Amino acid sequence: MPHLNPYLHHPPKHSHITMIKVGLGQDSHRFDLDNPSKPLVLAGIEIKDGTPGLLGNSDADVVLHALTNAISGVSGTNILGKVSDELCQQGHTNSSVYLKHALHSLRNLEVQHVSVSLECQRPKISPHIGAMKQNLAHLLSLRLTDIGITATSGEGLTAFGRGEGIQALVIVTVGNRID
């Protein structure tokens, strides 16, 4: 019987091992119906179709928050909560700042792929997917082909599907930086 695994008796040297980790993040916000001047921001893109903004101390960017949580799921360093609250009190309400802190916590690992899944009845996501991908590619130094964004209304079964807010789920794949 030939050995199917060529490394069984001669394991690869440490420098050849590529480590892959996967992180899951989730976030949700309800619409801020009492603040009509608050913009709706998703993945750093302002959505100007009349949909209300989301309730929260920051810009309440539910996509960047779920992405930040997904990265924390890999690094083990939580950013949303205590750290983001402090940053918010210092005047940092742009959620890309929280994302940058999460990326920094990855140290010598880098994000290689992002998958975003949104649940909402409004806004209609498909017209904005191109711009959202462009900005995520910019924030994460990724190619557009390394980012996927899908959206569903979930047939109105949840508060998100009934138009009361937005839920985002994000999975990130993170690996060794190859120099």
> Does position 59 bind Zn ion by CB under 5 A?
no
Neighbouring residues of 124: CB distance < 8 A, sequence distance ≥ 6 = 49
Nearest residue to Zn ion on Cβ basis: 65
The nearest distance, CB 71 to Zn ion, in angstroms, is 14
Separate counts of helices (H) and strands (E) for the chain: 4, 6
Task: Count the site residues for Zn ion by CB under 5 A.
Answer: 2
CA 36 to chain centre: 25
Our CB check for Zn ion shows the closer of 27 and 119 to be: 27
> Does position 96 bind Zn ion by CB under 5 A?
no
Which residue in the set 23, 40, 42, 65 belongs to the binding site for Zn ion (CB under 5 A)?
A: 65
> Does position 41 bind Zn ion by CB under 5 A?
no
Q: Which of residues 18-37 bind Zn ion (CB under 5 A)?
A: 27
> Does position 113 bind Zn ion by CB under 5 A?
no
28 three-state secondary structure: strand
Stretch near Zn ion under the rule CB under 5 A, chosen from 11-19, 64-72, 84-92, 154-162: 64-72
Our CB check for Zn ion shows the closer of 53 and 109 to be: 53
> Does position 122 bind Zn ion by CB under 5 A?
no
**What does the alpha-carbon distance between residue 51 and residue 88 come to, in Å, rounded to a whole number?**
24
Cis-peptide into 123, omega within 30 deg: yes
**What does the alpha-carbon distance between residue 90 and residue 92 come to, in Å, rounded to a whole number?**
6
**What does the alpha-carbon distance between residue 38 and residue 32 come to, in Å, rounded to a whole number?**
8
